[in-house]
Homo-oligomer: A and B are copies of this chain.
Amino acid sequence: MKILVAQSGGPTAVINATLTGVIERARDLGYEVIGGLHGVEGILESKSVDLSTLSGKMLNSISHTPGAYLGSCRYNLPQPPDGVYDVLFNFFNSNKIDAFLYIGGNDSMDSVEKISKEAQRRKYPLLVGGIPKTVDNDLVETDHCPGYPSAAKFLNVIASEFVVDSMAYSKPVICIIETMGRDSGWLASSLKMVEKIVDGLKVMILIPELPVSEEKLLDTVNDMKSPLLISVSEGIINEEGKYLSALETVDNFGHPKLGGAGEHVATLIEKIAKVKFMNPAFSQRAATHIISEVDYREAKGVGAAAVDTLAEGKNAFFVGIERVQASIGYSSTIRIVSIDRVANEVRKVPESLFENEFIDYIAPLIGKLPKYAFRR
C-alpha cells in the first residue's frame, strides 16, 4: 500500500507527532508513505516529498517541532464535480496512491469526505481517512482533539504565572487573557483550572456559547472581589450576535480602539478597575516546549491508528478518541467513525461542562501543573 499523508489548517504543538505516528506505523506494516506538501493546495500543484529516508532520530525531532512539517494550507475543496478533482486524481493515479490520510480540523474533514465521495464516483480505488488536529477542540465524534490538551496546558501555566505575578502589588488588579476559539469556548473554558493552581482566585469564562452583555459584565465584575482572572475566547459575541472584536470602544484617554475581543473587554473593564491584559496568540498552538504528555501520546496514537484502519481496508473514516471511564487514572481508546458524521459539524462546549464541571474534563488531559507558594 502506498499512503499519501498531508497536514492542513492551523498547526498545533503535536500535529507533527501525529505525522510521525503515521510514518512509523506505516513502516512497521511495510507500507510506503509520501508526504503531500501544503495540504490539498500543494498536492494540486503536485508538491510532494519522499518520507522513506527520515531516520528514527529525525522523526523524533520532527515530532517535537512546532508548525506543520509538511506545510499546511487553508484551502477548501469545491463541491464535486469540479475540475480540481481531475488534477487531484491525476496526482493520485500518476503516483500510484492507494490511500490518503489528512491531518486537520473541520475544513480538512470536509475535504476528506469530498475526496472519498469523488473517489467512489470515479471508481478510483482510494482509501481515505481523517485524523483530528485542532487547538479549538471543536470536532465532533471525539472526546477531544490532539493539540487541544497541549494548548490548554500552556495557557493554564502562563495564565497562572500571569496572575501570581500580578499579585505582587498591593493594589488589586484584574487579569484578562484572550484565548483562541472563534466558534467555541474550549480553550477559554480550560482556564477554569487556574482556580485549582492559584488558591483564592476566581476565574470568569467568556465564551462564544454564551453571548455577553457588556452592562451585566461590568456589574458582575464590580460585585466580584480580586483576585480575578477573565478568560476571553476570541469569538465572543454580544446579545445582538455581533463579535466584540468588531466593536469599537473608547479607552480611558478617549481614543477610539478596535482590537481583539480580549482587548475590547480590557478596555471596558479598565473604566471601573485596574486591569492587566495579555494575548498569548500563536504560542497557544506552537508551544512544543510544554506539551501535555497525554496529548503527545494520543497524537502519535491517532496517526498510528489511521494506518491500522487502512490496513483493515476501511474507507471514509475519522479517527476519534474515546475516554475510558475508570475510577482511577485517565486512559483513552481509539474510536473509528464514518467521516460523514464529522465533516462540517462544529462541537460547542455543552452546558453540562460550563463552569466547574469543565475541570473534570480538562484536568487529566493537561496532566501535572505547577504548584506555587505565595502570600496574599
Contacts and interface: CB of A to CB of B under 8 A. Distances in A.
Interface of A: 7, 11, 37-38, 41-42, 49, 58, 61-62, 64-74, 157-158, 161-162, 164-170, 255-259, 276-283, 285-290, 370-375
A73 B170 contact: yes
A15 B257 CA distance: 35
Given A71-B375, A286-B164, A41 B170 contact: yes
A289 B157 contact: yes
Given A73-B170, A259-B259, A280-B280, 20 more contacts: A11-B165, A11-B168, A38-B169, A62-B374, A64-B372, A66-B161, A66-B165, A67-B165, A67-B374, A71-B168, A71-B169, A74-B169, A158-B283, A161-B287, A161-B288, A162-B283, A165-B285, A255-B256, A276-B282, A288-B370
Contact of A371 (B61, B255, B281): B61
A372 B61 contact: yes
Given A62-B373, A166-B67, A280 B283 contact: yes
B283 A375 contact: no
Contact of A162 (B68, B158, B286, B374): B286
Please tell me how many copies of the chain the complex holds. 2
| Residue with the highest number of chain B CB atoms closer than 10 Å, among A65, A69, A370 | A65
10 contacts: A58-B373, A67-B164, A67-B168, A69-B374, A158-B287, A161-B288, A162-B281, A162-B286, A259-B259, A289-B290
Contacts of A71: 168-170, 375
A78 B68 CA distance: 56
Nearest to A167: B67
Contacts of A168: 7, 11, 67-68, 71-72
Contacts of A289: 157-158, 161, 290, 370
